[in-house]
């Protein structure tokens, strides 16, 4: 299926905004990363608005820290999104936070595909999201990613111990997703065994459903440091000037 074709599947998007942002530099920023402004909106609202513009997305689950839930609920209500956006509390880890988001979807009817996206990848665009959804329709599961172009070095205690071939290497991005029954199965299997993965793809790989990878975007970078936030703001500012 081309991402330009009409997608009739019902999609739920879990937007993860519950991290502690330890690397972001709380000392230099008085507010949590997910509340920093991107354009004229807090980051979590900016991303929720992007996903709400995808016609096949029927439900958004925003996962935030327990202490942020009330503020996020008020913020999403102000957006007047065309679809429902529910806010739930996250867990101790990213995987637990996504699991909480999944629990909010399990009993919903009409949801055939589940996407998971990190709010910190604030500049994800509709084309990337649609490519992932289209690949899920065709292959069962998919993620966005970009090919590695830099030379990679293995380093131990500051010493280079080898050069790693970048052939066939990709950097994983989000959204990552799968047909609903596969996503539930992947998380249920991880929960039963106590396995903690780094992303949804790893959990899907464990149950024998390796996702398809589709081209992401260099703009879909993760806002980890203050310099990343400035880069994102500059990107948005340049886009508005075009």
> pLDDT digits over 61-111, tens only?
999 999 999 999 999 999 999 999 999 999 999 999 999 999 999 989 999
Asked if 190 and 197 touch (Cβ cutoff 8 Å), the reply is yes
Question: 113 Cβ partners below 8 Å, 6+ apart?
Answer: 9, 10, 11, 12, 56, 133, 136, 137, 177, 178, 179, 180
Segments in the chain forming alpha helices (H): 43-52, 69-79, 94-103, 126-139, 180-193, 200-206, 226-241
- pTM here is 0.93
pLDDT one-digit tens code per residue, 4-53 = 455 678 999 999 997 655 555 555 556 889 999 999 999 999 999 999 99
Q: What angle do CA 187, 197, 225 make, to 5 degrees?
A: 120
CA distances from 92 to 97, 128, 170 (A): 7, 29, 28
Q: Which residue has the tokens 């500012």?
A: 237
DSSP letter (8 states) at residue 26:
G
**Residue 208: what are its φ and ψ, rounded to 5°?**
80, 25
């Amino acid at each position: 299926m081309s991402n330009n074709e009409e997608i009739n599947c019902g999609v739920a998007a879990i937007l993860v905004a519950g991290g502690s942002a330890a690397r972001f530099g709380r000392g230099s920023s008085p507010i949590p990363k997910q509340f920093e402004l991107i354009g004229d909106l807090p980051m979590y609202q900016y991303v929720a608005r992007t996903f709400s513009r995808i016609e096949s997305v029927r439900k958004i689950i925003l996962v935030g820290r327990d202490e942020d839930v009330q503020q996020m609920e008020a913020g999403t209500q102000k957006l007047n999104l065309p679809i429902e956006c529910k806010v739930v509390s996250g867990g101790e880890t990213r995987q637990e936070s996504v699991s909480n988001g999944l629990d909010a979807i399990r009993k919903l009817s009409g949801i055939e595909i589940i996407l998971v996206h990190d709010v910190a990848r604030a500049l994800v665009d509709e084309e990337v999201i649609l490519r992932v959804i289209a690949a899920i329709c065709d292959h069962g599961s998919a993620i966005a990613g970009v090919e590695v172009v830099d030379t990679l070095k293995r380093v131990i205690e500051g010493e280079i111990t080898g050069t790693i071939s970048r052939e066939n290497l990709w950097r994983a991005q989000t959204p990552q997703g799968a047909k609903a029954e596969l996503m539930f199965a992947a998380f249920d299997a991880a929960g039963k065994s106590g396995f903690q993965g780094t992303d949804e793809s790893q959990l899907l790989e464990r149950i024998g459903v390796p996702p398809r990878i589709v081209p992401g975007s260099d703009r879909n970078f993760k806002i980890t440091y203050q310099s990343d936030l400035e880069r994102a703001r500059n990107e948005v500012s340049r886009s508005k000037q075009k």
